[in-house]
Structure 1
Amino acid sequence: MTASPPTESATRPDAEPAGLGQRFWALVADWLLCLLLAGGLTRLGMLPDPEALWPSVILVVEYAVFLGFFTQTPGMRLLRIHCVSIRHGRAIGLPRALVRGVLLALVLPALPAFYEPRRRGLHDVLGDSIVLREPPRS
């Protein structure tokens, strides 16, 4: 697999970190999607009970795949933010996205985002990533 080219906003000197509100609502959208998917798959008999565990598993997988390869989950796309490597501005790859997803599912990562200047949570620091606003469309 070849590395994706740097995203435009990650290479801009004025790249702006995503706001906590944008990040929160993107997560809410992704969580609702995972709840719907887990509920539907459980009712179809494709996932065993207990149903309560599956939304978290699906969220980890969603984050790993979408952030690892595409820089955005569906919720992030809706809120016009994306997650890239803080070093090179490209997709963070599957292993680091998986770390982010697991930490997010454990509900640990948000605390540093309240005082870290670039709004990076624990999951961003350990995933070597940053969540940025998309540049305005022309």
Structure 2
Amino acid sequence: MASSAQPGTGPSEEFRYPGNRLGLPEDGPGSVAGWGRRFLALLLDWVIASLIASAVTSKPVWAGGNDFSTAQLVTFFAMTAILTGLAGGTIGHRVLGLRVINLKAEGATGYAAQVGLLGGAVRALLICLLIPAVVYDRDRRGLHDRAANTVVVRR
């Protein structure tokens, strides 16, 4: 007896869980990170960048102003690009048990741990623009991750 379901209408075997198409495990170390941890890591990195910018501009964090905001954004960009590119994640990522991995160019089954400075810079620039970070795919990869060929996973 033939199945009544039409091909292509049911849940795709290719998408069983975020990261399945990338060859990542469903749970545990190496699985795609959830939104809660990622958001908290971003928030922690932003606070650290604010404190550094405050020290550089000699203004308190709550004072604001154009020169403080610029220093804060530049600090966040530099910190994110360098740490992600060379260490596989920012301070926030480390504290929350996350890391950023570079997917191999050939695709689904493997990855190389180091993102590299160019990948880190591309990713950080797009995070600073915000919109690419909130537009994402089924594997929880924002446009910034897709452009840098990265994915955030649990340690």
Aligned length: 117
| Identical residues among aligned pairs (%) | 30
Runs of 4+ in 1 over 4 A off after TM superposition: none
Match of residue 127 from structure 2: 104
**Secondary structure of residue in 2 paired with 1:132:** strand
1:19-58 deviation per Cα after TM superposition (whole angstroms, max 9, x unaligned): 01111100000000000100111118xxxx6111111111
SS of the aligned residue for 1:56 comes to helix
1:109: how far off? 2.2
Per the TM alignment, residue 111 of structure 1 is displaced from its structure 2 partner at its CA by 2.6
What is the TM-score normalised by the length of structure 1? 0.79
Counterpart in 1 of 2:151? 130
Unaligned regions of 5+ residues in structure 1, if any? 1-11
Does structure 1 conserve the Cα–Cα contact (< 8 Å) formed by 2:40 and 2:92?
Answer: yes
Q: Which residue of 2 aligns with 1:4?
A: none
SS at structure 2 position matched to 1:84? strand
Tell me what 2:139 maps to. Answer: 118
Alpha-carbon shift at residue 112 of structure 1 (Å): 2.7
Seen in structure 2, the aligned counterparts of structure 1 residues 102 and 24 have a Cα distance that, compared at 3 Å, is same
Say if 2:110 is the partner of 1:95: no
Q: Which structure has the larger Rg? A: 2
Q: CA deviation at 1:85?
A: 0.3
User: Which residue in the other structure is 1:27 paired with?
Assistant: 42
Q: Which one of the candidate residues 81, 88, 95 is aligned to 1:78?
A: 95
Contact 2:24–2:32 under 8 Å retained in 1: no
TM-score (norm 2): 0.71
Alignment of 1:57 onto 2:81: no
Q: Structure with the greater relative contact order (CA < 8 A, sep ≥ 6): 1 or 2?
A: 1
On the 8 A contact 1:68/1:96 being kept in 2, the answer is yes
Which residue is 2:12 aligned to?
A: none
- The unaligned stretches of length 5 or more in structure 2 are 1-22, 60-65, 105-110
Native 8 Å contact 1:112 1:119 kept in 2: no
User: Would you say the 8 A contact 2:100–2:151 is kept in 1?
Assistant: yes
Structure 2 equivalent of residue 43 of structure 1: 58
* 2:112 maps to amino acid: G
Of the structure 1 ranges 86-95 and 22-31, higher mean CA displacement relative to structure 2 is found in 86-95
